[in-house]
């Protein structure tokens, strides 16, 4: 990048940065749990950081709107970050994000287990109907350890009769 572009970008960035200082002050305090979530997240995708960050930003948004539409000054920003209820909203929303992040895998696992169980039951009923219709020769039993399906005419025939 040449010097003229750098100067142009600096000339544009400094006034913008000065205009958003109150917002930066509020977000620096409000989004601390989001930063922590991204730091402790070890898995690929940063789902914990994203979940906590979205909820954390949702908790900060009412105060940001007040800041933007009722006077965007440093005094207003300091007033927000010294408000105990604002802190409860920031960190309560982040806590809710952590709760969502920590409970979602177990809920999805439970749902998948229930869905799989119903599917297995339906497939076994369909298998019994096929054995009754076509005879025990169409039946095979899956053996996970051996890796090969083997014909077993007695297992489904005894269940069907």
Alpha carbon of residue 59 to chain centroid: 17
pTM of the model as a whole: 0.62
Distance CA 106, CA 99 (A): 12
Cα angle, residue 160 at apex, residues 159 and 161 outer, rounded to 5°: 95
**For each of the chain's 161 residues, which pLDDT tens digit applies?**
677 788 888 888 888 877 889 999 999 999 999 999 988 887 777 888 899 999 999 999 999 999 999 988 999 999 999 999 999 999 999 999 999 998 988 888 888 888 888 888 888 888 888 888 887 777 776 666 655 555 555 554 444 44
**SS3 at position 145:** coil
**Per-residue pLDDT at 23:** 92
Structure tokens at 9: 């970008």
Distance CA 158, CA 161 (A): 5
Distance CA 125, CA 118 (A): 11
Distance CA 98, CA 38 (A): 12
């Amino acid at each position: 990048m040449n010097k003229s572009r750098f100067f142009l970008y600096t000339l544009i960035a400094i006034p913008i940065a000065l205009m958003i200082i109150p917002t930066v002050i509020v977000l620096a305090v409000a989004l601390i749990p989001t930063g922590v979530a991204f730091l402790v997240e070890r898995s690929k995708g940063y789902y914990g950081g994203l979940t906590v960050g979205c909820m954390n930003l949702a908790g900060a948004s009412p105060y940001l709107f007040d800041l933007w539409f009722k006077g965007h000054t440093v005094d207003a920003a300091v007033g927000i970050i010294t408000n105990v209820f604002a802190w409860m909203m920031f960190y309560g929303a982040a806590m809710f994000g952590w709760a969502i992040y920590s409970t979602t895998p177990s809920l999805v696992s439970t749902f998948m287990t229930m869905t799989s169980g119903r599917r297995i039951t339906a497939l076994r009923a369909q298998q019994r109907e096929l054995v009754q219709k076509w005879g025990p020769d169409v039946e095979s039993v899956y053996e996970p350890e051996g890796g090969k399906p083997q014909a077993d005419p007695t297992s489904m025939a005894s269940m069907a009769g």
